[in-house]
Amino acid sequence: MFKNFWYAVEFSQDVVAGKPMKVKLLGQQLVIYRKGSDNSVVAMSDLCVHRGAALSDGEVKGDCVTCPYHGWEYEPDGAVSKIPAHPDKPIPRKARVDSYPTVEKYGFVWIFMGDLPEEERPPMPDWSLIDDTVNYRAVRGSFLWKSNYERILENGVDVAHTPFVHGGVFGNPEKPEVADYDVEETDWSCKISVTLHPPASKGMWGLINPNKKQSLKERPPVKVSNTWWLPNMILLEVDTPMGAMKIYDVNIPIDEETTLVKFVALRAFFKGAWADADAKRRVFKVLYEDQVIVDGIRPELLPFDLASELHVKSDYNAVLFRRRRQELIDMGWSVEGNTIVGEGPARVEARVIPSPARKLVPELASAWNFKEVRSRQILEGRAPQMMTTAEREAIDAETAAAANKK
């Protein structure tokens, strides 16, 4: 899992005014809420700095959120402005939590989970077609998946699996060959385009699909593209004979083993509300088919060594993803092993992803109570020169404690 990216975490329409909401991603727990003054979204660490209660169980008061335990009041920038038990005493400097930048775009609430200044942040993808309600009709949905988000992402952009996993929906077992595909790469994404021979359309779509009764030979091929963006986003585009279909999908890593998929599926045909349920059902059918396979993959996480699994020509886009991911790990952006949500042994320490204020406001350097998450690079000792003595001692102590438990 990686910090320093924009993460779409929720559909805008589902974040209602006046109510704090719990959001889990990257092993962290956040509270998000709308400010009373301008309705914009605030996202902050959901760990009250006093006793660790969840602010998301508290209340929104104007632009602030209050803790449900002792009523401490947090400003949108994460600073405590009121301690009801001691209204006349000064507020301690350390009475603050990390607050993260947010933006609402393409119908999602996005949170920047990291401490990079604005100009150094990776770009958000251009998903403006989602806002084109004239040419496209959209359905939205969520799908909770007990698998790792990178395994799910690779599955989503894998062209060779469709005849086997989605035979009868859009994969064609009569035609499993993957032709050479076109590749468009950027630093943050990879799009591949390929020509496929899907089976004849079924159900409602079959009514208007000119493919309906033709034999495989007569049926015109269909152009299909899929794109991944680091670290967790996918777009699947199919030029069906009826019109374009585009499925935008974010694979939100709740933790290493739990992923919340949120999708927006656009179609340029059957644009009435009457066809929404059918369109949604088709996306879920594909997700269920993929889920059976992906849940069974071992190891659960993508290996870090490229040579651990075999790659063939049609896996080019996945190999590229794994290479870029390794570069992100080498940059120190990974946040593995720090999860504070989900199953597991009881924790004695909570670490958080640092917010931009930690770097931007030097006066606050010593005002952060929670320590920063560690990266895989440091955990595995890949770059010992990057470790401080304190960090090295902490790791040594952890290793000794783990050895004693055995």
- Which x/- pattern, by CB under 6 A, does the window 66-85 give for ligand FES? -x-xx-x-------------
- 154 near Fe ion (CB under 5 A): no
Q: How far is the CB of 237 from Fe ion (least distance, A)?
A: 14
**Which does residue 323 bind out of ligand FES, Fe ion, none, counting CB within 5 to 8 angstroms by kind?**
none
Structure-block tokens of residue 393: 């001692």
> Alpha carbon of 376 to those of 50, 147, 328: distances in Å?
29, 20, 10
Q: In what order do the strands lie in the sheet with 137-145?
A: 137-145, 258-267, 243-255, 233-240, 222-229, 189-196, 182-185
Query: Which of 56, 101, 93 lies closest to 77, judged by CA?
Result: 101
**Which does residue 53 bind out of ligand FES, Fe ion, none, counting CB within 5 to 8 angstroms by kind?**
ligand FES
Nearer residue to ligand FES within complex by CB, 53 or 103? 53
Nearer residue to ligand FES within complex by CB, 95 or 196? 95
- Span from 62-70, 92-100, 134-142, 298-306 in contact with ligand FES (CB under 6 A): 62-70
- 290 near Fe ion (CB under 5 A): yes
Neighbours of 246 (CB within 10 A): 20
CA 319-288-338 angle, to 5 degrees, is 55
d(CA 3, CA 343): 21
Token match 């075999």: residue? 310
- 150 near Fe ion (CB under 5 A): no
SS3 293: helix
- Span from 119-127, 141-149, 288-296, 379-387 in contact with Fe ion (CB under 5 A): 288-296
d(CA 35, CA 178): 50
Q: How far is the CB of 93 from ligand FES (least distance, A)?
A: 17
> Alpha carbon of 47 to those of 21, 57, 191: distances in Å?
13, 11, 39
**Which does residue 290 bind out of Fe ion, ligand FES, none, counting CB within 5 to 8 angstroms by kind?**
Fe ion
Q: How far is the CB of 37 from ligand FES (least distance, A)?
A: 23
Q: How far is the CB of 319 from Fe ion (least distance, A)?
A: 18
- Which x/- pattern, by CB under 5 A, does the window 248-287 give for Fe ion? ----------------------------------------
- Span from 120-128, 129-137, 260-268, 289-297 in contact with Fe ion (CB under 5 A): 289-297
What's the N-to-C CA distance of the chain in angstroms?
Answer: 28
d(CA 34, CA 40): 5
Query: Which of 348, 337, 352, 359 lies closest to 48, judged by CA?
Result: 352
**Residues 34-53 contacting ligand FES, CB under 6 A:** 48, 50-51, 53
- 358 near ligand FES (CB under 6 A): no
- 63 near Fe ion (CB under 5 A): no
Q: In what order do the strands lie in the sheet with 73-74?
A: 59-61, 64-66, 73-74, 80-82
Q: How far is the CB of 226 from Fe ion (least distance, A)?
A: 10
The residue ranges that bind ligand FES (CB under 6 A) are 48, 50-51, 53, 67, 69-70, 72
The residue ranges that bind Fe ion (CB under 5 A) are 290
